Structure 1
Amino acid sequence: MHPMVKPALRRGWRDLNTVQFGMAPAHAMVLGPVDTATGSFLDLLDGTRGLPLLREEGRGMGLPDGHVDALVERLARSGLLDDATGGGPAADTLRAKKAVLDRLRSDLGALSLVAPAPGDALGHLAARRSLRVQVRGAGRVGVTLAALLAGSGVGRIEVRDLGRVEPWDVAPGGLPPDSIGERREEAARRAVRRAAPDRPPRPTADDEELGLSLVIIAPRDGLSVHAPDLTAAEPLIASGTPHLYAGVVEATGVVGPLVLPGDTGCAGCLDRSRADRDPTWPRLLAQWRSGTSRHVPACDLTVATGVAGLAAAHALAFLDGRPPSSTGARWEASAPELHWHAKPVWPHPDCPCGAMEKSKKGERAAEAEKPHETMAGQQPHAARLSGTWRAHV
């Protein structure tokens, strides 16, 4: 192990023996008390030294035996320490590709703030290279989103759509002007290749058997954003494939829900819940779906880009193993206020996706595990953290 204080967090001294790591409250921490020698020793935790050399230098600075190991352990436990050599074989392979890793340095820094254990950040970044994501829709949202995922290190991005590029499909970071008139899938494939920091790993038979890590449904048609196609989702539900919806309908950006089949509410749940609340919903939907709209969709560039960015961030959080807030919920923002707010998509009892039954089982299990009340009628308190070594700003 080559310990390294996470460089993504800027350091500042609040007083002579209290150090703050980080500026933004979401990830900043205050540690103390820190004596002068220990404060100086922190500068040596830069990833260039292993523990034996750090112990030797610590002794030269007058630190007592065992102090270096205790400090490293405490920093690691607080989520402030990284390992310059950690992450496993896949991370070692990525380290060997210096130009590729340099393209991803900022992504690595951001991952280090949410992946607490030493070496986890690079391990997650390296794992992205083996993932396979399919984006359904090659418009302003879909292609920009696919390019963002490729640029963030996801190895295999497939974009599926029909037809040819129209002038209103063009977007910075997505389809370029010179792609107008080309087949959408081919133009999207080139956009993804341009954004990727490296060539994707060559697919193997095992990759195909593992299937898709995630499907992102980003239709160009606003109606399909507002009311997702249930038949298109049925194979995904049946195969257990996670899928995320994203798009723009009439100047309203939508991200979510992220559907985990059998666990969270799906497009079918959303449709049935709407019909429960509004008896005219099926009639309106039938009218909207009758015939083909010849109107250019109201999908302004800024909202589309914002949706693509937010959806890509939610997708990456899921792929890295952290369920985002779009899991079982739709985030929406409408022009001109652009205030993002979440609308839950609850499992529906009549939907065949099975999420409602899973939800009921979870409620029964939670009730069975509910701790007994104390004699005072209060729940027992959780154990408190001891000492002053860890405190969020």
Structure 2
Amino acid sequence: MSIPRTRAAAANLGSVPPRLRDGLAVFALDGNRVRIGLADPVVLEGLSSEEAAFVARLEEASACTSADVARYEHVIRRLDLHGLLAHRGTSSPPGTASSGEGTGTGTGTWHATVCVVGADDLAMAIGLCLAQAGVRRIEFEDAKPAAAATPVTMVAGVTRAHRAARAINGWVPHAAHVAGAGSSCRSPDVTVIVASGSPDLALVSDLMAADQPHLPVITDERGVTVGPFVIPGAGPCLTCLGISRTEADADWPLVALQCNGSRPTHASAAVRALTAGVACDSVVRFLDGGGSDARQWRAESRTNGDGPRLTERVVRTHPSCRCSNPLVRGDDLEDQQAILF
């Protein structure tokens, strides 16, 4: 027998202190009425002054005690019926930047590992956004030496991955790590590939063969393309995109081989920020139970000096690609490069 949502929530209140959803603010009205929210407000009436004060305290979970939970369980049920409470896995933990603090605890809402291949400024922006959103562990994979810009990066042997992890941990302690330092990016929940023009083809083949979900973030001189979110066998893959692009540009295979994940990325600060949010949202949707996502986003700087522009389109599985064929063995995926090269 299933437990009603409100009863299930109440049963867990001892271990998970109730808290309002991120961004919800409480406003006192006359007659002990309380308004919760700005854009789509809910007004609670008939509260006592103590109950109204309790609702206001729910903006911060740390201010709610076990005695409060027992005393105001009826108020908590009422808030839950309106969908106003944050629940495990659907909201960032207190103390992260998404709850308005600017730093985080690194405890993580999603007990998941996301590997970010690349550790330049764009990859760091994506990693920071994921950490602040509540992803428990971010691993950077980038063995290129860090630029000698600070005393930290001038230490011999410091890679861009080390620099990125150190920077992220300054904001969200213990969230970021270097792949291979005690663990590796061999079996993450999601891999985010940050590259210019085209990713490392061998890496993409390995991810497909291992059935590893991955998200491409590809830059060029005009902007950044994010997606699609690839779940092998469940939607379009990067080879599908490569075939389609080759049909439109016969020279593309030669260009892709000369990129192959080795060229530096380029994106303005505004485009980096926009891209980080889009990439983070795509990953978090998957971690929250989502499937493959055939959407592809394009962030570009405007030539007239205005802010960046974001567009969206849906890509399709290419009929010449065998990525959706369940009879194709993982090792055979490497042979698909023959379609392009």
Q: TM-score range by the shorter chain?
A: 0.5 to 0.7
Corresponding position: 1:261 with 2:232: yes
Match of 1:191 in 2: 167
Match of 1:312 in 2: 280
- Match of residue 271, structure 1, among 239, 242, 248: 242
- Match of residue 98, structure 2, among 91, 102, 107: 107
Unaligned runs of 5+ in 1: 55-67, 89-100, 111-121, 171-175, 358-393
Identity of counterpart residues, as a percentage? 25
Q: Taking structure 1 as reference, are residues 179 and 331 closer, same or farther at Cα in structure 2, changes over 3 Å only?
A: same
- Match of residue 212, structure 1, among 174, 184, 188: 188
Match of 1:328 in 2: 294
Match of 1:30 in 2: 42
Matched AA of 1:158: E
Q: Taking structure 1 as reference, are residues 153 and 263 closer, same or farther at Cα in structure 2, changes over 3 Å only?
A: same
> Distance between the aligned counterparts of 2:234 and 2:112, measured in 1?
22
> Distance between the aligned counterparts of 1:18 and 1:239, measured in 2?
56
> Distance between the aligned counterparts of 1:146 and 1:209, measured in 2?
14
Cα offset for 1:290? 4.9
Between the two proteins, the alignment pairs up a number of residues equal to: 289
- Match of residue 149, structure 1, among 116, 124, 130: 130
- Mean Cα displacement is larger for which, 242-251 or 14-23? 14-23
Q: Taking structure 1 as reference, are residues 196 and 355 closer, same or farther at Cα in structure 2, changes over 3 Å only?
A: farther
Matched AA of 1:335: S
Q: Taking structure 1 as reference, are residues 236 and 197 closer, same or farther at Cα in structure 2, changes over 3 Å only?
A: same
TM-score of the two chains, using structure 1 as the length reference: 0.59
CA contact (8 A) 1:6 1:82 kept: yes
Q: Rg larger in 1 or in 2?
A: 1
- Mean Cα displacement is larger for which, 179-188 or 233-242? 179-188
> Distance between the aligned counterparts of 2:238 and 2:265, measured in 1?
22
Cα offset for 1:76? 0.9
Corresponding position: 1:73 with 2:77: yes
- Which runs of structure 2 are paired with 1:143-182 in the superposition (5 Å)? 143-166=124-147, 179=153, 182=158
Corresponding position: 1:235 with 2:239: no
Corresponding position: 1:347 with 2:323: no
CA contact (8 A) 1:103 1:197 kept: no
Matched AA of 2:124: V
Cα offset for 1:140? 1.9
Look up the SS of the partner of 2:53 in the other structure.
helix
> Distance between the aligned counterparts of 2:289 and 2:259, measured in 1?
41
| Structure 1 ranges of 4+ moved more than 6 A | 13-18, 207-210, 291-296
Matched AA of 1:238: A
Match of 2:335 in 1: none
- Which runs of structure 2 are paired with 1:115-126 in the superposition (5 Å)? 126=108
> Distance between the aligned counterparts of 2:261 and 2:116, measured in 1?
23
Q: Taking structure 1 as reference, are residues 177 and 271 closer, same or farther at Cα in structure 2, changes over 3 Å only?
A: farther
- Match of residue 268, structure 2, among 300, 316, 326: 300
CA contact (8 A) 1:248 1:303 kept: no
Cα offset for 1:322? 5.1
CA contact (8 A) 1:163 1:183 kept: yes
Match of 2:114 in 1: 133
Cα offset for 1:102? 6.1
Unaligned runs of 5+ in 2: 1-12, 58-63, 328-341
Look up the SS of the partner of 1:134 in the other structure.
strand
Q: Taking structure 1 as reference, are residues 74 and 283 closer, same or farther at Cα in structure 2, changes over 3 Å only?
A: same
Q: Taking structure 1 as reference, are residues 18 and 30 closer, same or farther at Cα in structure 2, changes over 3 Å only?
A: farther
Higher RCO (CA 8 Å, separation ≥ 6 residues):
1
CA contact (8 A) 1:265 1:355 kept: no
